[in-house]
Chain A
Amino acid sequence: MTLSLSVVLAVSALMFGLGVYGALTQRNAIRVLMCIELVLNSVNINLVAFSRYVGPDQALGQVFTVFVMTVAAAEAAVGLAIILMVARRKAHIDIDQINLLKW
């Protein structure tokens, strides 16, 4: 296996950029959540790649990826519950118009 680490890291960086762009531009709250999932996945690729290339006999990066997956699942569940509440009260989930806490 001669796959070079820099190619994997470049793919992860591109995916991170896509996720950040989506999270900053989308106005639908569910889409913002999806783009955050993209960002978390690109970080997971980074962790697994470093775990494979730097310390393959310890799998520490993979342990960290397990924790990222746990937190991502919790974030998706709580985020969608909040979005459901907002949708029930305001009949839309446009994050530009959800400004109750705005000064």
Chain B
Amino acid sequence: MTVTDWVFLAVAAVTLFSAYRVVVSRKIMHAALWLGLTFFGVAGIFLLLGADFLAAAQVLVYVGAVTTIIIFGIMLSTPEELRGPSPEAGSDAASSAAPTRRSFLPLVTAIGFAAVMVALVNRGEWPSPPGSVSTDTPRLLGEALFTRFVIPFEVASVVLLVALVGAIALALKEESGQ
């Protein structure tokens, strides 16, 4: 075990724990903040895998934009869950307002998938890591994006533009839209 292994295990542990907290946190605001920590952990994993440009993009796009937009969505839409479950709620309301569906099928699906994947990964023959890796991934990425993948790149920008205009159009007030 080298230093890289230990650092990777620590980062992976933080990432998985915060991902677990995203799923089980009772207050949705806490879940959103744990999601931000998960994104940071994934950025750390990217760094350890040598993808420094993607790590920066991960911090900018996910931690900076997606987490913020999710927190905006929470604050604009769910005031009662933001404060947590109210203690004076009736028993019938409490049963219908349970935060999750209690069923064993999702558990079986998730655990089954993860177990099968981990078993397969452990049995597989994987290539050993290459010794020397070029460190200028931004140059590699830019050359690939603007030569070989220029059409998908332009399509992706159009998708982004349409999504942003569509989001604004959807979120407009009804009165001003008519």
Contacts and interface: CB of A to CB of B under 8 A. Distances in A.
**A contact residues, range:** 35 or more
A58 B140 contact: yes
B170 A82 contact: yes
B28 A76 contact: no
| Dominant SS among interface residues on chain B | helix
Interface residues of B, number: 86
A84 B62 contact: no
A21 B106 contact: yes
A77 B101 CA distance: 26
A71 B128 CA distance: 31
Interface of A: 1-11, 13-22, 24-28, 30-31, 33-35, 37-38, 41, 44-45, 48-49, 51-54, 56-60, 62-63, 65-67, 69-78, 80-85, 87, 92-94, 96
Interface of B: 2, 4-5, 8-9, 12, 15-16, 19-20, 22-23, 28, 31-32, 35, 38-39, 42, 45-46, 48-51, 53-54, 57-58, 61-62, 65-66, 69-70, 72-74, 76-78, 81, 97-101, 103, 105-107, 109-111, 113-114, 117-118, 121-122, 124, 126-127, 129-130, 133-134, 137, 140-141, 144-145, 149, 152, 156-157, 159-160, 162-164, 166-168, 170-171
